Structure 1
Amino acid sequence: MTLSFFDQFMSPTYLGIPLITIALTLPWLIWPTPSTRWLNNRLLTLQGWFINRFTYQLFMPLNQGGHKWAVILTSLMLFLISLNMLGLLPYTFTPTTQLSMNMGLALPLWLATVLIGLRNQPTAALSHLLPEGTPTPLIPVLIIIETISLLIRPLALGVRLTANLTAGHLLIQLIATAAFVLLPLMPTIAFLTGTVLFLLTILEVAVAMIQAYVFVLLLSLYLQENV
């Protein structure tokens, strides 16, 4: 039986247990907990440097009120990177290729930024729907357009993460299948195809990290507009 290439994005089950549960909880075991010693090991030092630099770069342009989100956004960043990177390993499942999960992360966080803006500065939050100096006949049209652009933000967040990871995984699957088929027929072409597959895998590792950063960065930009 020939399976579809898109079957790799289905949530696998083993003995009736969905493996997405393991995929969501396993990344937390990778990041070590801080020790009580004066000097940490290399892994803990590198981890702490990465978290500090990321938090500094992310919250440097934000106002003081947005710094309360440092813990949740940094945790989200580490969580997404772990899931994306683990999904590149053989015989694993990438939960972030599911639009339902990405929308479950994007929608509540986006809604929280909007509610914060409406609570703290309602006038400034509503002013984003109508630019200053708009002609009177264009006011209803611009309000509708800006409202649609505001409501489409969480969908864009979820679809961007899903589409980028799905496209990379699918391309790797296609090239790997081509290399496997060409190996007994044309070994030289199969070797070149395998080289392309290796380079594409490196690119996909970069995409996995960049997309997690872009997801959190866009959330911080939405937060900046409302604090």
Structure 2
Amino acid sequence: MNVLYFYDPPFKAGYDKLIKMYPSVNFVLRYDFKIQLLELIKNGTDYIFFLVDDDVMINPFQENCPEFNEFKKNPDILTLSLRMAPNYRYKNQPILKSNKWEWRPYAKGGNLYNHRLRNWGYPMAVGGHIFKREDILTIIEVNDMKNPNFLEGALWANPPNRSLTICFDKPKIINNIANQVQTDFPSHITGISVEELEKRFLNGERLSILDIKKKATTAKDCYLRGDYKWEYNS
């Protein structure tokens, strides 16, 4: 696992603590997002799994699972989504066949597009999707990007010609919207400041993983909304 990261000076202590907590993870301090991302991808495997800093694993994932094997062998599948699942219940969401669906009708501009259903038509999101390296390498090489938001924009503007997305019976990750650490793309957050997160983390606290997992069982989509609880993690 590689973590490409960057921080402003006031947050150095938090990253120093985090890196010591996970010695098996390859933390890479960012100096040029695109150059370093390409290096990591080229030195990686044929399949690339992107996560961002507000994704939380809520169920285990194994590479020898049927869904991943189907993704690898089926040329019509664009991505394996770890954040979408048939147990999400919104009116008119796609009817899945063996956990596969056609994503284009639900994409913006598609005949079935609906704001509430937009994630069913957004297979190029970098938060919780597995890609084929051959599908994304050239896109990254020819586009300018300085952070994951620009990466996602480039991927979404150039989706490979594969019509399907596949997911699991239950989601493997959920996206918590507790904070925002970049300013290029403002988004809705729950209002916890990065300063508060840093202070409480250094004091031995973090957002409660158990609480997030519990709330995820009744979530309507891949974004977790609501108040957060804290737990001690010294």
Short-chain TM bin? under 0.3
Higher relative contact order structure (alpha carbons within 8 Å, sequence separation ≥ 6):
1
Between Structure 1 and Structure 2, whose CA radius of gyration is higher?
A: 1
More helix by share: 1
Structure 1-normalised TM-score?
A: 0.28
Structure 2-normalised TM-score?
A: 0.27
More strand by share: 2
